[in-house]
Amino acid sequence: MEGRVRRARRRRDRMVRKKLGIAGLCLLLLCSCANIRTLVKTSLQGIPLWVTQPDSRTGKEVFVGQGTDENPFNARLEAMNDILSKLSEYLGDNVRDTYYREFTTTDTVKEIGLSVVREYRSERTTYLMVECDDDALASRRSDVVNKKSAEDAVIADLLSKADQAYRDNEDVKAIDACLDAIYAIQTHLSSYDVKPLVKRCVKYIDAIRLHLSMIDGDHATAQVKVLRKQLLFSPKVKNAPVLARFTSENLQGGRFPDSLIFNTGDDGTFRFEPYDSSIVDQGTLSFVIDLHDRLAKLKTVLPQEEYQGIVDAVEGQSVSFPYAFVSPYAGKEMVVTIQEYAIDGTLLPSHDATDEITEYLADQGVKTIANSSGTQDGAELAEEIHALYPNCGYLLFGTVGVVEYPRIGEKTITVASGRMRLYDLKTQDVVMDTTEIKAVGESKSEAFSQIVSAAISYFSKYL
């Protein structure tokens, strides 16, 4: 009886061991299935096993890269770039620019103990395997973490300042801080995502409203107010820099875009006056919050879609109005006397300067009477003109003369000097005075014309 029991137990034990063996084999097959597929793949493609199953030594980390090109040299460079990309992902920092030159010229990177240990070239593809020192990589990753932590603290401080500025109704200051944070994220190691910050900037900008009032198109003036749009109450935006944009004209008649900076201060508003005398007589004045410098920095580091989104938001809040200067002297008669002198002080019979001045005044709607008096003292001439033309309100008196004819190489040029004053004939007071103007030209007429152009530029803001 006992013998039968022992035999039954032995049969049971054999069955258990057999089942465990079958289960273990199945588990082994399941675990190695991927390896078998890899073996088959590498065998069929004729590439070494280390390409898909790189082996590493103790204390080493391995990376495999591949590059495909008909030219073996180019394929090898591409494989190196692939390794640097994988290494950057592993370290959490883009190290391509840092290591590329050393790696591609020496096959090593000393800082992290990197060296090429295996290489294979198929028909068109090159494979490289490198080893790196584990401790060096760990140190590099620690440096990356520390740098990210430090930069994250800077960005957090900027965002805190943005929050405070927004609470203080200094919206543009808040936007500036956000843009600075975006630039820091794009140019330094950071764990922050730039996209939410771009959306935050656009949200702040979209809430801003520039409002124009008391517009005077005849004198190009207006009251500019900056508000933050909200449902029930729109608070004024304090200390907001606003760019006034317009077209200016240089002395040669060339036109160019120009601008002036204003600030809303604590009142959230300012009065625009065309302080720049070179502004053209007729055009459009536009106003926009000034983010120019920060946007110029971001243009080179921010993806085009995000950058354009911010620019479009800024331009979407701009306001403008047309203007056309009306001269306070329009419809009134003005006597013009411009005396031209030779280098020896002789009064010349020419009147080119007078013609140029009267032509400009006519364009401004000012009626002129040309006078060729030889009286050289302005005060005396004003009395003389007032007696001759009692119904005229003003006298524009000017002198232009040749100073010298210097030689530059084989060429002789003309240096001229001039001055122009505007008299109120009723009070005999000088309303405007250009003081002395000097100019250089290739001829007398060109030098005189330069002086007239300078005088016109000076008078233009008054006429």
Evaluate whether residue 33 is within a structural domain.
no
First to last CA, the chain: 134
pLDDT given for residue 160 in this prediction: 95
Evaluate whether residue 220 is within a structural domain.
yes
| Separation between Cα atoms, residue 39 and residue 34, nearest integer Å | 9
Q: The CATH number of the domain where 59 resides is what? A: 3.30.1660.40
User: How far lies 285's CA from each of 216, 257, 323, 459, in Å?
Assistant: 11, 11, 7, 21
Per the structure, the complete domain to which residue 371 belongs is given by: 333-459
Evaluate whether residue 404 is within a structural domain.
yes
pLDDT given for residue 421 in this prediction: 92
- Show which of 304, 324, 344 is a domain's final residue: 324
| Separation between Cα atoms, residue 112 and residue 96, nearest integer Å | 13
Same domain, 351 and 441: yes
| Separation between Cα atoms, residue 164 and residue 177, nearest integer Å | 10
| 444-459 vs 352-363: helix crossing angle, rounded to 10 | 30
Contact assessment for residue 95 and residue 141, using Cβ atoms and an 8 Å cutoff: no
Same domain, 301 and 408: no
Residues 6+ apart with CB under 8 A from 309: 198, 202
Same domain, 315 and 337: no
401 beta partners: 341, 417
Q: The CATH number of the domain where 431 resides is what? A: 3.40.50
* Ramachandran assignment for 113, one of left (phi > 0), alpha (psi -120 to 50 degrees), beta (any other): left
| Separation between Cα atoms, residue 399 and residue 339, nearest integer Å | 5
SS3 per-residue string spanning the chain = CHHHHHHHHHHHHHHHHHHHHHHHHHHHHHHCHHHHHHHHHHHHHCCCHHHCCCCCCCCEEEEEEEEECCCHHHHHHHHHHHHHHHHHHHHCCCCHHHHHHHHHHHCEEHHHCEEEEEEEECCCEEEEEEEEEHHHHHHHHHHHHHHHHHHHHHHHHHHHHHHHHHHCCCHHHHHHHHHHHHHHHHHCCCCCCHHHHHHHHHHHHHCEEEEEEEEECCCCEEEEEEEECCCCCCCECCCCEEEEEEEEECCCCCEEEEEEEEECHHHCEEEECCCCCCECCEEEEEEEECCHHHHHHHCCCCCHHHHHHHHHHHHHCCEEEEEECCCCCCCCEEEEEEEEECCCCCECCCCHHHHHHHHHHHHCCCEEEECCCCCCCHHHHHHHHHHHCCCCCEEEEEEEEEEECCEECCEECEEEEEEEEEEECCCCEEEEECCCEEEEECCHHHHHHHHHHHHHHHHCCCC
Tally of structural domains, the chain: 3
Same domain, 306 and 377: no
Same domain, 61 and 92: yes
pLDDT given for residue 156 in this prediction: 94
Same domain, 358 and 293: no
| Separation between Cα atoms, residue 180 and residue 188, nearest integer Å | 12
| Separation between Cα atoms, residue 52 and residue 40, nearest integer Å | 11
Q: CA nearest 131: which of 66, 75, 57, 77?
A: 57
Same domain, 279 and 222: yes
pLDDT given for residue 257 in this prediction: 94
- Show which of 87, 116, 138 is a domain's final residue: 138
Looking at residue 309, its amino acid is: G
Same domain, 403 and 316: no
Same domain, 378 and 300: no
The tens place of each residue's pLDDT in the chain, 463 residues long, gives: 555 545 656 666 566 555 545 544 444 444 444 444 444 444 445 689 999 888 878 889 999 999 999 999 999 999 999 999 999 888 888 889 899 999 999 999 999 999 999 999 988 999 999 999 988 988 888 787 788 888 889 999 999 999 999 999 999 999 999 999 999 999 988 889 999 999 999 999 999 999 999 999 988 999 999 999 987 788 999 999 999 999 998 867 789 999 999 999 999 999 999 887 688 888 999 999 999 999 999 999 999 999 999 999 999 999 999 998 876 777 778 899 999 999 999 999 988 888 888 888 887 778 889 988 889 899 999 999 999 999 888 999 999 999 999 988 888 999 999 999 999 998 999 988 989 999 999 998 898 888 888 888 777 656 6
Same domain, 319 and 350: no
Contact assessment for residue 168 and residue 187, using Cβ atoms and an 8 Å cutoff: no
* Ramachandran assignment for 436, one of left (phi > 0), alpha (psi -120 to 50 degrees), beta (any other): beta
Same domain, 320 and 338: no
Kindly calculate the radius of gyration of the chain based on its CA atoms and give it in whole angstroms: 41
Q: The CATH number of the domain where 239 resides is what? A: 2.60.40
Exposure class string for 96-106: b at 16+ Cβ within 10 A, else e = eeebeeebeee
